[in-house]
Chain A
Amino acid sequence: MSPHDDAMPRRAAPLLLAGGLFLTACTDSAGVTPTAAGSSGDGDDGVDEVADGPALPPRLDLDVPDPDSVYDPFFAGEELPDGYRQTLVRDAIAPVYDPVFTTADGVDWPEDSLVIGVDLEGEARAYPVGFLNRREIVNDDHRGIPTLVTW
């Protein structure tokens, strides 16, 4: 769904296979600053409290295997559905596996910038589209509900 899927040249795939990652989207995971979790927590329940603000969730840090160590139907030679095009190696555009949250006052996003908003279990979370354009996938845990935010 992201325009950046198409942005990656097909010929770059072998380069990426050779380890030549070069897109901004190809950075190591997170790209998130560790200010929210661990900065003011009480250390017991892993939930941070901000004075006069909402509680911050504990930092999620999902265990992710090396993509090359996991079965890949494409390289295994499975019959591909029509229209399937493998343009990059897995996670060349690095997903977020360890999202960190702060309060609305803790970010300086432009007021008119787009966000994906999620309101579950009485807690609202916003994910900026400008960031999702480059990372495309955020694995999250929203008050106990495992969520997948994609763009």
Chain B
Amino acid sequence: MVHRRTSNDTELVFGNQGALWGNAMTWWDTETGSVWSQPLGEAILGPRTGERLELLPSSLGTWSDWKAVHPDTLALDVPSGADGFDLEQMAIVVELADTSVAVPVPLLRDEPVANHLLDGVPLAVVLLPETDRWTVFSRRLDEEVIELMLDGDALVEVDPTGDEPRRFDPDSGLALDGGDQSLDQLPGFTSFPADYVTFFPDGAFWTPDGIVAAADVAE
């Protein structure tokens, strides 16, 4: 979303409040500390409560489509998928309730899908080799649990129960080939393995050969 960051003729600067409201992000303005709701563009706490930012036109689409329409476009001078860190040095962490697992990115270079069962929750961490985009999916479809592998441009069910393996878009989890069941995404984040060990001493690392306790790595 893109808003004009002025209210009552005052230019405001916004930070990240670090809170969710209605499961959506919130901002704080650096002048008054008021808390703003992103989807509303409206202050919900603090002195500016009730004030609203103007929503500006914007679009969401592919880089190639945007360039085709706007050949002179400027580009925010950043990498697309990372923010200056070497992804190879990091792990993708999934935390659910009080348990977590970290999947070191280099291991996903050999095997781009890490199938794991985290405290009873079947999940798959997927790293797409060509774009370096990663996603975490639930492997549960209704009452069924499936295992996933990457096959070309699709996530594919391993050992299918039906005649044909089900196939999914590896970015969105949406069913391909007309299927009616899609994969749900789960939250994840990247961390340096050493930091993960420090802050999640009860955590564990995924490897293709099994789980390694973070505490063992720390030693």
> Which A residues are within 8 Å of any B CB, using their own CB?
1-9, 11-13, 15, 20, 22-25, 27, 31-33, 35-36, 53-54, 56-57, 62-65, 67, 70-74, 78, 80-81, 83-95, 97, 99-104, 106-120, 123-131, 134-139, 145-151
Query: B6 and A146: CB pair below 8 A?
Result: yes
> Which B residues are within 8 Å of any A CB, using their own CB?
1-6, 11-25, 27-28, 30-35, 38-39, 44-47, 53, 56-64, 66-67, 70-85, 90, 95, 98, 100, 130-131, 133, 185, 187-192, 195-196, 198-199
Q: How far is the CA of A13 from the CA of B75 in the complex (A)?
A: 34
The 4 closest A-B pairs by CB, nearest first: A88-B18, A71-B33, A124-B70, A73-B45
Closest Cβ of chain A to B64, distance in Å, is 4
Residue numbers in A under 8 Å from B27 (CB-CB):
137, 148, 150
- Contact status of A22 and B191, CB under 8 A, knowing A31-B78, A71-B33: yes
Closest Cβ of chain A to B23, distance in Å, is 7
Closest Cβ of chain B to A107, distance in Å, is 5
Closest Cβ of chain A to B157, distance in Å, is 24
Query: A101 and B19: CB pair below 8 A?
Result: no
Closest Cβ of chain A to B72, distance in Å, is 4
Query: B28 and A118: CB pair below 8 A?
Result: no
Query: B13 and A31: CB pair below 8 A?
Result: no
Closest Cβ of chain A to B99, distance in Å, is 10
Query: A102 and B74: CB pair below 8 A?
Result: yes
Query: A147 and B61: CB pair below 8 A?
Result: no
